[in-house]
Structure 1
Amino acid sequence: MGQVVEAERLAAEVLKANRTDVGAASILARALMAQRRNEEAIAPLERATRRVEDPGLETLLSAALGGAGRRSEAIDLLRRTTARRPPFLPAFQELAGQLAAAGRFDEAVAVIDSALALAPASLELQLLLAQILPHRNERGRAREILEKLRTVAPGHPDILAALARVLLLDGEYAAAADLYRQVLAQRPDDPLTRTSFSACLLEMGDRAAGEANLRLALRGRPQMIGRTASALAMASHGRFFFRPSAVAKFLS
């Protein structure tokens, strides 16, 4: 329900009464991570993983470690988790994501390929693969995967967004914009999708609509200033500013 502060309080109370409650430790960690307090989530998860061998807890701990900037530790832990059988597919997804975030795209693809050999029908793994492939300039392969996934799960926002990204990179701005509209119909408050949608509009010469959507993406989100500035500067019909403050003022 999104009440992460209350979830944090209740889970902490349970742990005070019973420090071995693995479920409470997991909920506490998730609540802390939802508040971008990854460093605080590490200790209860480490205590829990010392008490029980659980791939879900180890994967959650790895996500907290990665979020706290301790990516090498996260990757080492995930390597051990993914080596166990039966396989725990979310650990493969997290490992591939951590590797991709570190710019190690070949390794990330290898991890997903190994997981798909175990679970070839996994939509989540195929989607993650398609999201990483463009970083290796394999947009054709990514597009083929995403088109197939769209027939399996029509209207899935993550699939539509990933396919739109490939179309945007290939210069098919109108088709990409249409897909981004479908995603925004489901997720109107998604600033990253709205920024990409704006980039399409700017490339199509619709500067007014593009800039209006960038204003929506930035509103109340100062962390989006870099992405909105890039969208403005990189578009062939965009604008360039010398200072982030000037971008913020223009989009305010």
Structure 2
Amino acid sequence: RGHHHSRAQVLERAALALRMRQFAEAEQLAAEVLMASRTDTAAASILARALIAQNRGVEAIAPLEKAARRSSDVSIETLLGAALGSAGRRAEAVEQLRRTTARRPPFTPAFQELAGQLAKAGRIDEAIAVVESGLALVPETIDLQLDLARLHLHHNARGKAREILLKAREAAPGRPEILTALARVLVLDGEYAAAADACRHALGLRPDDAMTRADLAACLLEMGERDAGEAHLRSALRNRPEMLGRTTYALATSSHGRFFFRPSAVAKFLQG
């Protein structure tokens, strides 16, 4: 077809597009590779991720089923479970993912995907059991520890969540997600100074994380540090106009916040 790109080059471009959240482009490039070689698991994987990201999981099922039959690749099977779930076929998704979590060596994302599907269905205890079974096999996996902490928070088991997150922070001090999750637990326990500290550390690792900046602002407002809180809210909003809801919420719910009748007034205030 006139272009001389090697399959590897096209796949690399597709993977890059996916990372940059350019899902339509990733989809198109991966589909191109699959037309030429129907068995390419890397292309099937990128195509599926791009479709799921566009809420078109239904379309990802057939190519994934084909790839799974040919390769029995755990990551393809896990994506198939995700696609089935996003297409609303949860029972099949759970069945598929249970099979994949039974494979050895264990594939961590399969446990995460299965737990996520169960949690979405409100089956939190089952989700916790899945994550715990994964951690029994690979205890040092930070992603599973984070998931377990978040699931405990669903049940408002804050002590358990805190214990897991403090251990995780020791093991992986460079992971901002641990710090932001810990900050949420501390906020729920009313420990605003400690939460603000965790947020600051997370922002040190990821300065453009607007959500965490809004959380920090909420902590500062709770502590009565209104000017600092409002300054952080402004900067959270500057990069991310879609953060208006979160920042408005922080201002309105904080005991030392401000009250506005109209969202436009908040926007004006924060952008002022």
Q: What's the TM-score bracket when you normalise by the shorter of the two chains?
A: 0.7 to 0.9
CA distance in 2, matches of 1:76, 1:124: 22
Is 2:47–2:60's contact at 8 Å kept on the other side of the alignment? no
Instruction: Report deviation, 1:129.
Output: 1.0
Is 2:81–2:94's contact at 8 Å kept on the other side of the alignment? yes
Aligned residues: 250
2:17 paired with 1:3: yes
Equivalent residue number for residue 95 of structure 1? 114
Equivalent residue number for residue 60 of structure 2? 42
SS in 2 for 1:155: coil
Is 1:8–1:32's contact at 8 Å kept on the other side of the alignment? yes
Moved more, 232-241 or 211-220: 211-220
Pairwise mapping of residues 32-181 of structure 1 onto structure 2 (< 5 A)? 32-33=51-52, 36-39=53-56, 42-43=60-61, 44-66=63-85, 74-181=93-200
Q: 1:30 to 1:171 in 2, by over 3 A?
A: same
Q: Aligned residues: percent identity?
A: 67
Equivalent residue number for residue 8 of structure 2? none
CA distance in 2, matches of 1:245, 1:61: 43
Moved more, 141-150 or 174-183: 141-150
Q: 1:146 to 1:17 in 2, by over 3 A?
A: same
Instruction: Report deviation, 1:177.
Output: 0.7
Pairwise mapping of residues 208-223 of structure 1 onto structure 2 (< 5 A)? 208-219=227-238, 221-223=240-242
Moved more, 44-53 or 165-174: 44-53
Instruction: Report deviation, 1:71.
Output: 5.2
Is 1:164–1:179's contact at 8 Å kept on the other side of the alignment? yes
2:207 paired with 1:202: no
SS in 1 for 2:56: helix
Moved more, 120-129 or 238-247: 238-247
For structure 1, which runs of at least 5 residues remain unmatched after alignment? Answer: none
Is 1:131–1:162's contact at 8 Å kept on the other side of the alignment? yes
1:147-204 Cα offsets, whole Å, 9 max, x none, are 2222222232122222222111111111111111111112122222122111111111
Q: CA RMSD for the aligned pairs? A: 2.7
Instruction: Report deviation, 1:87.
Output: 3.0
Instruction: Report deviation, 1:214.
Output: 2.4
Equivalent residue number for residue 192 of structure 1? 211
Is 1:38–1:65's contact at 8 Å kept on the other side of the alignment? no
- TM-score normalised by the chain length of structure 2: 0.78
2:32 paired with 1:13: yes
CA distance in 2, matches of 1:19, 1:149: 41
1:22-79 Cα offsets, whole Å, 9 max, x none, are 211112333455xx31316624334423443222112223334555666555434323
1:196-251 Cα offsets, whole Å, 9 max, x none, are 11111111112222223223333454543332222222211123344544444443
What amino acid is aligned across from residue 154 of structure 1 in structure 2?
A: P
Q: Greater Rg, structure 1 or structure 2? A: 2
CA distance in 2, matches of 1:166, 1:12: 43
SS in 2 for 1:38: coil
